[in-house]
């Protein structure tokens, strides 16, 4: 088989092989094959996610099966099915939105293949086949664990179908149909825009639309864990259900499981019709647009180059021209780069969903007299956390690696000033997040309305100095090496952070209940920030900026070339 794959097997097969092998490649990665290692690590971490929930789910349904009436069991099943359907649909939608630029042949494909004797139809057919193969693998991988495990775990004497096989088929059909709907709907959306919009408008709109979709899918993914029976009862009402695709496929799952409710059958019909329409629009858009797609991309790229202008920044805010230039470079990159806009909106959507789900569930842990204070603290903690992590991640993704030579030859003249500009840029948004809700806090919390943002601001400054203590890059100028930190370590750090956020929220809430303790805590945090910032400023003179990330060496050097 390996020898057969080394041989050439015709134009269409070789094009298909080209698109499959390059589907997850990125021009920002300098180490070949590194993206594949990251994908393998992500899959190995995501596969056992359902096993963590097996114990609690099994115990819950074992208890509900012992009740004398079927109502609580059937409401719980509906809630969990809607949770899982929303989860897998948003996950497939997220993967599709992230690869938004790869749904159709992109400008790199035309540059690489344009000199070859190929027709546009051949390129589009090969791209579509590669996309379908990757999508089929992703759908099976994402839907496999819940489709096989959940129907068995939720088996009960109160189920409409007592046979696990029938319920498994019903759930698997609904889950695959829902995931496929999101996948084909996003392809159809891009195909419609491709055929309706002029080149420059298409380039501008789709870049922002991709970021919006990533943020929306992340928000849905997080909010899916908040679905409870009382929420399901509200969502399946006719005014809401007509606009919520996960509810349509909940109807498909329930009707396939034997639920006699006519409204569930109506929802199932709506979901199947929506899926067929999405598939038809996606395929039609693909085959209709191939004649003008390459022209549209090339004209859009030229239009974007003509529109380049430097952002106007107030001189009083950044009096140093080198800092002004660095901040202007950061703003231009975020505005023009669809990849960076996608990441920025993704972090924003994720933060908004975490804040919303946390505030909605906070009443179970905090008394009514302290609920408002706890809500403001939680908002600030999550917003500042995602700002710091998002800024560091966003800055580490390069934009044009071939242009970083300009920074390398002038680094010695402005290294310290450049890093100060990065500090000012991040801290500007930091101050905005702290100060924006202050009028509301003063109105509803009294003196705590000033103490809370002051204490959170000091703690946030300390967290900023710690987060950027090892930062040695100019934003967007260093190559990115994904997977440099093993996936299991990142997973442990992420879950540890999620565990610490409620604890930190409780500690800050307890501190703010006593004015004297608040003053002492503010002084301690301020002193720690002064010390950490001083050490960071002292070490900044010895930093040499990094422009290329490489795998860690087996033998570490003594950093004798720093400076």
Residues 270 and 373 placed together within one structural domain of the fold:
no
Residues 444 and 535 placed together within one structural domain of the fold:
yes
Residues 301 and 341 placed together within one structural domain of the fold:
no
pLDDT beyond 60 at 554: no
**What Å distances lie between residue 243 and 92, 247, 248, CA to CA?**
19, 9, 9
Distance from the first to the final alpha carbon of the chain: 53
Residues 141 and 213 placed together within one structural domain of the fold:
yes
Q: Is residue 482 part of a domain?
A: yes
pLDDT beyond 80 at 305: no
Segment 407-435 mean pLDDT: 86
Residues 300 and 356 placed together within one structural domain of the fold:
no
* Last residue within a domain, chosen from 273, 305, 337: 305
Q: Is residue 545 part of a domain?
A: no
pLDDT beyond 60 at 308: no
Q: Is residue 26 part of a domain?
A: no
Residues 328 and 295 placed together within one structural domain of the fold:
no
Q: Is residue 38 part of a domain?
A: no
Residues 266 and 334 placed together within one structural domain of the fold:
no
Residues 361 and 260 placed together within one structural domain of the fold:
no
Express each pLDDT in 126-160 by its tens digit: 888 888 888 888 888 888 888 888 888 888 888 88
Residues 254 and 207 placed together within one structural domain of the fold:
yes
**What DSSP state is assigned to residue 260?**
-
**What DSSP state is assigned to residue 552?**
P
pLDDT beyond 70 at 504: yes
CA–CA separation, 443 vs 453, rounded Å? Answer: 14
Q: Is residue 36 part of a domain?
A: no
Segment 368-382 mean pLDDT: 88
Residues 273 and 414 placed together within one structural domain of the fold:
no
| Alpha helical stretches, state H, 154-261 | 164-196, 199-223, 229-235, 238-241, 245-256
Q: Is residue 328 part of a domain?
A: yes
CA–CA separation, 337 vs 208, rounded Å? Answer: 10
How many domains does the chain divide into? 2
User: What is the extent of the structural domain holding 447?
Assistant: 322-540
Residues 238 and 355 placed together within one structural domain of the fold:
no
Segment 21-31 mean pLDDT: 57
| Residue among 334, 354, 351 at smallest CA distance from 342 | 334
Q: Is residue 124 part of a domain?
A: yes
Q: Is residue 442 part of a domain?
A: yes
pLDDT value at position 513?
A: 86
Residues 279 and 341 placed together within one structural domain of the fold:
no
């Amino acid at each position: 088989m390996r020898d057969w794959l080394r041989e050439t097997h015709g134009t269409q097969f070789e094009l298909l092989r080209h698109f499959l092998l390059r589907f997850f490649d990125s021009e920002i990665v300098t180490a070949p094959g590194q993206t594949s290692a990251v994908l393998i690590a992500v899959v190995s971490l995501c596969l056992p996610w359902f096993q963590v929930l097996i114990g609690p789910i099994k115990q819950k349904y074992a208890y509900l099966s012992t009740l004398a009436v079927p109502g609580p069991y059937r409401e719980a099943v509906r809630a969990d099915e809607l949770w899982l359907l929303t989860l897998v649909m948003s996950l497939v939608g997220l993967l599709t939105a992230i690869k938004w630029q790869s749904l159709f042949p992109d400008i790199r494909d035309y540059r690489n293949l344009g000199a070859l004797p190929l027709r546009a139809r051949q390129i589009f057919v090969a791209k579509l086949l590669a996309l379908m193969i990757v999508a089929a693998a992703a759908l099976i991988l994402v839907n496999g664990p819940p489709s096989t495990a959940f129907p068995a775990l939720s088996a009960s004497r109160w189920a409409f179908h007592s046979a696990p096989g029938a319920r498994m088929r019903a759930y698997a059909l609904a889950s695959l149909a829902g995931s496929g709907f999101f996948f084909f709907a996003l392809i159809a959306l891009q195909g419609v825009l491709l055929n309706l919009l002029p080149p420059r408008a298409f380039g501008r709109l789709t870049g922002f639309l991709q970021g919006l979709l990533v943020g929306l899918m992340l928000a849905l993914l997080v909010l899916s864990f908040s679905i409870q029976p009382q929420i399901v009862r509200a969502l399946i009402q006719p005014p809401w259900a007509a606009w919520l695709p996960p509810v349509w496929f909940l109807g498909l799952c329930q009707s396939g499981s034997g639920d006699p409710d006519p409204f569930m059958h109506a929802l199932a019909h709506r979901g199947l019709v929506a899926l067929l329409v999405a598939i038809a629009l996606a395929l039609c858009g693909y085959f209709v647009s191939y004649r003008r797609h390459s022209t549209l991309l090339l004209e859009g790229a030229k239009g974007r180059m003509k529109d380049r202008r430097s952002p106007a920044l107030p001189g009083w805010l950044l009096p140093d021209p080198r800092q002004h230039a660095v901040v202007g470079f950061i703003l231009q990159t975020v505005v023009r780069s669809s990849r960076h806009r996608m990441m920025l909106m993704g972090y924003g959507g994720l933060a908004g969903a975490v804040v919303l789900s946390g505030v909605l569930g906070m009443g179970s842990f905090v008394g009514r007299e302290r609920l408002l204070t706890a809500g403001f603290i939680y908002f600030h903690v999550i917003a500042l956390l995602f700002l710091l992590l998002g800024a560091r991640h966003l800055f580490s993704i390069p934009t044009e690696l071939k242009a970083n030579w300009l920074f390398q030859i002038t680094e010695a003249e402005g290294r310290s000033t450049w890093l100060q500009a990065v500090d000012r840029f991040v801290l500007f948004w930091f101050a905005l997040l702290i100060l924006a809700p202050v009028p509301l806090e003063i109105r509803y919390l009294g003196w705590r309305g000033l103490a809370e943002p002051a204490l959170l601001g000091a703690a946030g400054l300390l967290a900023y100095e710690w987060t950027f203590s090892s930062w040695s890059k100019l934003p967007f100028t260093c190559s990115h090496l994904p997977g440099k930190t093993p996936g299991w370590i990142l997973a442990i750090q992420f879950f540890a952070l999620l565990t610490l956020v409620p604890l930190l929220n409780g500690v800050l809430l307890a501190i703010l209940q006593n004015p004297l303790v608040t003053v002492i805590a503010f002084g301690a945090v301020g002193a720690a920030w002064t010390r950490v910032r001083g050490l960071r400023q002292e070490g900044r003179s010895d930093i040499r900026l990094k422009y290329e990330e490489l795998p860690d060496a087996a033998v570490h050097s003594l950093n004798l070339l720093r400076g």
